[in-house]
A = this chain, B = another copy of it.
Amino acid sequence: MYNSNGVRRLGNKRKVPLTVIKRLPRYYRYLSELFKNDIGRISSKELSQRMGVTASQIRQDLNFFGGFGQQGYGYNVEYLYNEIGAILGLNKTRKMIIVGAGNLGQALANYKNFRKRGFELAGIFDVREDLIDKEVNGLKIQDFKSLEGFIKENPVDIGILSVPHDQTPSVAEKLVSCGIKALWNFSPMDLKLRQGIVIENVHLSDSLMTLAYKLNRLESDDINC
């Protein structure tokens, strides 16, 4: 089903652009803060000022998913917070495993916020003998060899890849062959995604390089201007 611009529609709705989706977690964070501070309602204008975006953009973004506000009133904070959570799928629990129990893997395993949002760590795996059986946040690191068996016994939604660079493709392949459909990739390498697999790449070094660029420009502006 296509609209007049040739854009695919899902059911009755336009396909939501990725730019919009990436803003949802940010709205969610701000609404969470408002809710914590017992603020019951908010207008797009007020929220736009807090967030440093336009009110138009907020209303446009939300209306991809439905009309959550009320003319003359604005938005009910708790309601909108829950709705965005539901859109993001935070109302259903997602089981995760970590592959690669080095520093980063262990740091992620200890991250408390995930569980709060409905993400549950089910297992941690590594190939390194000295790490196997070590306990991290209440879970014993398991031998990577037992991964396949584990996934057969325990359904897993999300695979977290915190393995060294050169092992990323093969580990990703393994996870996908075990039926995992979502990969959260921390290696500085883009994973080729096949149909039916979703991926989020977290390229820390890209972010640091971007920061270096900004700093450079800042310094040269100081000199020139």
**Interface size for chain A: under 10, 10 to 19, 20 to 34, or 35 or more residues?**
35 or more
Taking the closest CB of chain B, its distance from the CB of A94, in whole angstroms, is 6
- A217 to B214, alpha carbons, bound, how many Å? 35
Cβ of A25 < 8 Å from any Cβ of B? Answer: yes
Interchain CB contact under 8 A, B103 and A208: no
Q: What residues of B have a CB within 8 angstroms of the CB of A206 in the complex?
A: 22, 25-26, 29
**A212/B89 contact (C-beta < 8 A), A25-B203, A113-B188, A205-B117 known:** yes
Interchain CB contact under 8 A, A24 and B211: no
**A90/B29 contact (C-beta < 8 A), A107-B104, A107-B106, A110-B103 known:** no
**A214/B196 contact (C-beta < 8 A), A25-B206, A117-B205 known:** no
- A87 to B210, alpha carbons, bound, how many Å? 10
Residues 178-210 of A contacting B (Cβ, < 8 Å) = 181-182, 184, 188-190, 196, 198-200, 202-210
Q: What residues of B have a CB within 8 angstroms of the CB of A208 in the complex?
A: 114, 117, 119, 184, 200
Contact with B along A1-42 (1 / 0, CB 8 A): 000000000110000000001101110110000000000000
Interchain residue pairs A-B with the least CB separation, the first 9: A103-B107, A25-B206, A89-B216, A198-B214, A200-B211, A25-B209, A107-B107, A182-B215, A104-B107
Counting every copy of the chain, the complex holds 2
Interchain CB contact under 8 A, A210 and B157: no
Pick the residue among B11, B189, B210 that contacts A22 (CB under 8 A). Answer: B210
Interchain CB contact under 8 A, A212 and B88: yes
Interface SS of A by simple majority: helix
Give 28 A-B contacts (CB < 8 Å), ordered by A residue: A10-B224, A21-B210, A21-B213, A24-B213, A25-B203, A25-B205, A25-B206, A28-B209, A29-B188, A29-B189, A88-B209, A88-B210, A89-B213, A89-B216, A90-B209, A90-B212, A102-B107, A102-B110, A103-B110, A103-B111, A118-B212, A119-B212, A158-B212, A182-B211, A184-B207, A196-B218, A196-B222, A198-B214
